[in-house]
Amino acid sequence: MISSNFLILCLATAASAVPALMSRSGEADEFTVLPSLKTGEFLVNNENGWEVISSDAYAAMLKAENITIGRPPIDHDLMKIDDDEEDVNGTDTSLAKRQCSVTAMLITRTDRFSDWDMQMSPIVSARNRDATISVTQTYTVTDTLTVSGSFSPTVITNWLTGQVGASVSRSWATATAITVGGTVASGNTGAMVVNAWKTRRYGEVRQGCIGSQRVVATFMSDTYESGAYRGVSWIRGPISLCERPGFLNRVPRCQGGGFLE
């Protein structure tokens, strides 16, 4: 007999910033039951609401959206500041140059990707029969900004929000509990995960006179994409079951490096 693994996911509106994907104490007031999942299926939130799709359909969706699979390595070359650039504010003694103080920011590259597995339930080993996962929690996730050099992160955040609508101070806190079913087969160990869709932007901050500016800071922002269904806001990206053979204390991620524990 096949039983279901039930994960209580909780989704809601924006709230104050907290690091990464964190569980929060407290119970939700409302619950929505979503379709059950099997290994190789993905639960996605789109214009049709919540629906289960196959791995082939999900791959086609990523291709259509121009989204790569997995978190790309950080491009450290784009985060470097060239110390050999002319310091126009310090070496040029002309009055016009010394009085010139123009600040400009620009995006140097944009990547869009489906991030590594983020664990949303404990891992469960199904030893002699299919096991059941049952968790009631709320969660938060937060956008991030990394700055190299001497420049205000707040100014960069405000510029990103105004130019591309990327509010890197934004986070989502869950409130409406959504029940998701899955099945960990006998002899396997697994956990429910979400693969958030993210946009990574690299950029530069330049100062000085037009035509002779130097880079004073570089930055990298990782922002979640937002979705909504029936007034409930949450990050875009599929929910799925990550499952591995054997009775494991920690499960290698199905997408990304490291382990689910």
The answer to whether residue 1 scores a pLDDT higher than 80 is no
CA 103 to chain centroid: 30
Residue 24 binned pLDDT confidence (cut-offs 50, 70, 90): very low
Q: How confident is the model at residue 56, as a pLDDT?
A: 94
User: Domain residue spans in the chain?
Assistant: 5-242
Specify the pTM: 0.78
Taking residues 143-160, what's their average pLDDT?
Answer: 90
- By mean pLDDT, which of 60-64, 97-101, 129-133, 190-194 is the weakest? 97-101
Taking residues 71-98, what's their average pLDDT?
Answer: 69
Q: For 163-181, write each residue's pLDDT tens digit.
A: 887 767 666 655 555 566 6
Q: Which two tokens stand for residue 163?
A: 């130019």
Element (H, E) at 76: helix 76-79
Q: How confident is the model at residue 13, as a pLDDT?
A: 31
Q: Which of 22-26, 140-144, 212-216 has the highest mean pLDDT?
A: 212-216
The answer to whether residue 224 scores a pLDDT higher than 50 is yes
- By mean pLDDT, which of 5-14, 55-64, 118-127, 186-195 is the weakest? 5-14
The answer to whether residue 90 scores a pLDDT higher than 50 is no
Long-range contacts of residues 145-148, Cβ cutoff 8 Å, at least 24 apart: 145/169, 145/219, 145/220, 145/221, 145/222, 146/79, 146/219, 146/220, 146/221, 147/217, 147/218, 147/219, 148/79, 148/80, 148/81, 148/217, 148/218, 148/219
Q: What percent of the chain has pLDDT over 90?
A: 38
- The residue with greater pLDDT, 9 or 83, is 83
Residue 249 binned pLDDT confidence (cut-offs 50, 70, 90): very high
Q: How confident is the model at residue 130, as a pLDDT?
A: 83
The answer to whether residue 231 scores a pLDDT higher than 80 is no
Q: For 192-207, write each residue's pLDDT tens digit.
A: 888 999 999 999 999 9
